[in-house]
Structure 1
Amino acid sequence: MNGFEDLIKASKLKDMMASGSDAATLEEVVIETKDMEHYIDIVYTQAQFPKPRDEAGVEKELDIGEKKKLLITNINIGEDDLRLLAMNRSENIKAYLLSTGKVENQRIFLLEASENDGSNNERTSKVKFSLK
């Protein structure tokens, strides 16, 4: 799942539904390059985060690249998103290991990601392989 792309696709989907198009899923929505700037503008305008202002307190006019950067920076990523990412990564690693033919399927187990309670100084963005 890509948060930025999902925001842009949701905006287009909303437009499609308002114009009477058949309802599609987010995965089915395609944003063409020529439409990207239009939807970035819409999503940026509707976004609920503090936007840059000038000395007079007026919202600054930004180019599309800056708007995109601010949208990406302000995407909320929750624990469930991180857990899903961890599971997707582990499934990809398992698939790779199985594709090499050097490890049998019965020998690979995927475990649920555990919470890091912060009591130790371990980084949470790593994979642990263990033999049992």
Structure 2
Amino acid sequence: MKVIFGVVGVCVVAFFVFAFVLSRTPENQAFAAAQDSVRERLVDPSSAQFDGLRLVSSEDGKFVCGYVNSKNRMGGYAGRIPFVYGVDSYFSYVISDRKDAFIAGEKNVKPCFPSIDVPANAAEADRRF
């Protein structure tokens, strides 16, 4: 009986060690840092729901891309909004309109969201998507 409890105990410990090691992969660390950075930019950080997270590499660096949905000032969810987080720069961009895309810049947006039209200048950025 003691042997069975010993084997079960070792298996449980091994499971938790394995789960901890997997959670500390560079990809998971980048995802966690991206989520923290994006939350800092939201009206209601605790309401943030993330999906579609992926790690993208380009000649300009590594980026975490995905979508965030969170509550706005009215208390309702705003809908899925794309975001980009620069793994090397530790800076995130939430892209809700053309002005945000312009501020983020083409080198930060295009690796993640090639279909987003990044305006070339501030005058173009004032137009709607």
The normalised TM-score by structure 2 is 0.26
Larger helix proportion, structure 1 or 2?
1
Larger strand proportion, structure 1 or 2?
2
Task: Please identify the structure whose Cα radius of gyration is greater.
Answer: 1
